[in-house]
Amino acid sequence: MNNTFGTFTIKKSDSKLPKYQQLINSLLQDIEMGELKPGERLPSINEASEECYLSRDTVERAYTELHKMGVITSIFRKGYFISESTFQTKTKILFLVGKITDSTKSIFDVFCQTLGKNVSVDIFTYQYKSQQFQEIMSQQLGNYHYYVVMPHLIEEDDENLKCLKKIPSDRLIILDHSFSNLSLTFASIVSKPISQIKKVFNTQLNLFNKYHSFNLVLTEEDYFDADLINGCSKFCESISMNFQVLDGLDEDEMRLGEIYFTLADVDLAKAIHYADKNGFEVGKDIGLIGYNDSCFKELLVGGISVISSQPNQMGRMAAEMIQENSKENVELDLQFIQRNSL
């Protein structure tokens, strides 16, 4: 019997996974670690069934999936072998987001750039719906080496947590959202609570004192932390500034002496256009704050001040965790970048 058979172990930490998926994950990990090499013969289905205490159907399903992935090949009357092209096969990563927004795109782009060309990253969206989230996770389980998930607006109910727990902890990275009921055995990168925005704004009081009102401009298209409203409201209350939440931005809502904090870049562009149309000078007659930085925000109207959850850093760190096979739980600070728009 082939001595590589000992590498097929069903890990207790993966006990919530179907047995065939555990077998797939075990083999993929052994290949990545160099314990199985191209051209190496694998145990027959009967051998694997006997030694792993699995049914023949379970082993056959695992081998079929691995064959579809191009990881193994079969030779008539000789058996199964590690594909010679296995080490040219790109590491496959699923990147799951609610929607593709300005922020998620920034994270995704830097994530892919950091990983380079030897990695294949597929992005899926669940439209902020738990049912779609569960369907995607169930359908794609076992099809990827790593799963990077941004579970925005996903409740901590049993079904959603069950989906995440099916992924081996060393293959899962959670971004920009934390689950209190999910054990931190996986990697995660989150921003500090957006409610801390009051503390960030308090460092820039001299910039806010020339305005009398603060408008938080939200959009249905982008995810936002509900604590953002509370944090901005408390800040305005502490300095006796009027505060209101706007659903998008219309021209008649652009008024002298007010600040507009826009989460979506499309609303920021509208604000600049409306200000110009009304003859308002940005940074003097009205104040503008954007959410998360980009190269064009440095250039517009002499520079847009921004609150940043550090999406570029988040994407870079997630990629490095995969490259270095590390498992950390990181919390990023909110940043305020001061420019001429405030």
Model confidence pLDDT, tens digit, residues 238-251: 999 999 999 999 99
The structure's pTM equals 0.73
Structural domains in the chain?
Answer: 3-87 (1.10.10.10), 90-189+312-330 (3.40.50.2300), 195-310 (3.40.50.2300)
| Locus of tokens 């953002």 | 228
Least Cα distance to 31 among 94, 92, 114 occurs for 92
d(C-alpha 102, C-alpha 219), whole Å: 12
Q: In Å, how far are 50, 189, 309, 330 from 334, measured between CA atoms?
A: 55, 13, 5, 13
pLDDT tens track, the chain, 342 positions: 444 545 455 444 445 678 888 888 788 877 776 678 888 889 889 988 888 888 999 999 999 989 888 888 988 888 899 887 655 557 889 999 999 888 899 999 999 999 998 888 999 999 999 999 999 998 888 778 899 999 988 888 888 888 888 888 888 999 988 777 776 678 999 887 676 888 889 999 999 999 999 999 998 767 777 788 889 999 999 999 999 999 999 999 999 999 999 998 999 999 999 999 999 999 999 999 999 998 889 999 999 999 998 999 999 999 999 998 888 899 898 899 999 999
Could you count the other beta carbons within 10 Å of the beta carbon of residue 113?
A: 12
Secondary structure (3-state) at 241 = coil
86 exposure class (CB count in 10 Å sphere: 0-12, 13-18, 19+): buried
For the segment 55-71, what is each residue's pLDDT rounded down to a tens digit?
999 999 999 989 888 88
Q: What are phi and psi of 40, to 5 degrees?
A: -75, 135
